[in-house]
Structure 1
Amino acid sequence: MRVMLFGIMKDIAAARTLTIEAELPTVGALKKWLMQQYPGMQQLRAVMVAVNKAYAADDTALSPGDEIAIIPPLSGG
Structure 2
Amino acid sequence: MAVDSSAFIVVPVEATVPVLWRAMRSIRTSLNITRIYWHPDEHVRDGCHFRLEVPVAQLHDPATARGRIQSILVDHGAALL
> The TM-score by the shorter chain falls in which range?
0.3 to 0.5
Query: TM-score, length-normalised on structure 2?
Result: 0.34
Query: TM-score, length-normalised on structure 1?
Result: 0.35
Greater share of helix: 2
Name which one, 1 or 2, has greater alpha-carbon Rg: 2
